[in-house]
Amino acid sequence: MPRHLISLLMLSALLVGEDFAEAQQKLANYDESKIPPYTLPELLKTQAGKAVTTADEWTQIRRPEVLALFEQHVFGKTPAATTWGKVDFQVTEVKKDALGGKATRKLIHISLPEHSAWAGMDVMLHTPNGLGKPAPCFVGPSFNGNHAVSPETDIPLSTRWMRASKDQSIVNNRATEASRGSESSRWPLEKIIDQGCAVASYYYGDVEPDQAEGWKEGLRAVLSQDGAATDWKEGDWGAIGAWAWGLSRIADYLETDADVNAKQLAVIGHSRLGKTSLWAGAQDQRFDVIISNNSGEGGAALMRRNIGETTAVITKAFPHWFTKTYANYANREAACPIDKHMLIALTAPRPIYIASAVEDTWADPKGEFLSGLHAEPAYALFGQKGYGITEQPAIDSPVGDAIAYHIRTGKHDVTDYDWQQYLKFAKRHW
């Protein structure tokens, strides 16, 4: 492409957010032969240079090191519980005949009494009726609110800031009636309920609006040292960390709900929220199944491959997602002491499912597969098996045991096919 056309494309994107990322998709490398040679950081070697050969050495020494490296270089460090204090749960609605009588729907408002400047988060929980025992539960963030997850029209419409939508259902960054049920295809509630599982979701913008300056209006500012949006420095947590924090607060609530088996929680997310589910699962071991759907760069894909979305692009388009330090590795990924196989390994020995889509080349499906493959040595310390293969499988042919993977037909999305695999995977391990 001529340089003047590239320049025009870049200018038209305004160098920010979704528009910048979309422009970069047209310029990205998708040719495997053009990936530069790379060497992954050693997974099973401590910072002192000692080989890790047992599960105890991983748990006691190497895993804490790897977690700290992700805190320092990628996501930032989540504040300690003493920072936010008491967490309050208020059940604001119980509907016992939701989804045509199949489920009980609860709406729960989660807040921090010691930090009233934060408006809190609204969780929607569906549990199956007539199960006769506490249900295992899928826990995940939504892009457009509880009213978008469910097709039922009596759910309160979110009043929070939202990203613009291509279908015009979001007007002036606020939800409209047209946005009801807009995410329901990604959350097949009845299918999940029919399998004897519960679903808990929340709108990620309740914790922090998904924009570069959103941290000034969200939880991160409220929990900062002076309780105001005055500083954000290297090592401080980014929006992904804050959204993952919200998932852990849902786990807090679920431990109090008799209708849910809080020992069987699967954390799930798609795209940027797939990155969020991986980070939530890495930090919070109450999530005993982890699911990453099309999480790409910053998620399951190896950053050193430099194919599709790159570290340089994601930290330019979405700097607020990560700690500021991550941008230091734009176009110099080899200098970063971690790569994403180490993020996958942080979930060991808990089962993890990584999913790609064949048309989602921006997310580097092969890089997502390879992260799971290179995480296998950590799982092997616990006697757990990974994929059982070393080459990316055929389309629509799931593989794996404690680490599972599929690449399916279609685009960047969550489909019924994905959910069929996730339900089978989670139930096999519960």
Q: What does the pLDDT look like over 382-427, one tens digit per residue?
A: 999 999 999 999 999 999 999 999 999 999 999 999 999 999 999 9
Given the structure tokens 């196989």, which residue do they identify?
A: 341
Q: Helices in 139-179 by DSSP H: which ranges?
A: 146-149
Catalytic residue among 271, 292, 295, 371: 271
Token pair for residue 321?
A: 């997602």
- % pLDDT > 90, the chain: 89
- Single pTM value for the model: 0.95
To the question of domain 55-154+182-429 being in CATH 3.40.50.1820, the answer is: yes
Mean pLDDT score, 268-292:
98
| Per-residue pLDDT, 406 | 98
| Per-residue pLDDT, 6 | 35
Q: Is the pLDDT of residue 322 over 60?
A: yes
Taking the domains of the chain in order of start, what are their residue ranges?
A: 3-34, 55-154+182-429
- Cα distance between residue 302 and residue 307, in whole Å: 9
Q: Is the pLDDT of residue 229 over 80?
A: no
Contact (CB, 8 A) for 19 and 26? no
Mean pLDDT score, 69-82:
97
Measure the CA angle with vertex 241, ends 236 and 244; round to 5°. Answer: 160
Catalytic residue among 109, 115, 184, 412: 412
- The angle that helices 272-283 and 239-254 make with each other, rounded to 10 degrees, is 60
Which of 88, 286, 98 shows the shortest CA–CA distance to 189?
98
pLDDT in tens, 35-54: 999 999 999 999 999 999 99
Residue 17: band (very low, low, confident or very high) from pLDDT cuts 50, 70, 90: confident
Burial of 27 (0-12, 13-18, 19+ CB in 10 A): exposed
Q: Is the dihedral of CA 240, 243, 247, 253 positive or negative?
A: positive
- Active-site residue flag, 412: yes
Contact (CB, 8 A) for 112 and 207? no
- Cα distance between residue 111 and residue 118, in whole Å: 8
- Kindly report whether the peptide bond that precedes residue 349 is cis, defined as omega within 30 degrees of 0: yes
- Active-site residue flag, 201: no
Residue 240: band (very low, low, confident or very high) from pLDDT cuts 50, 70, 90: very high
Mean pLDDT score, 337-352:
98
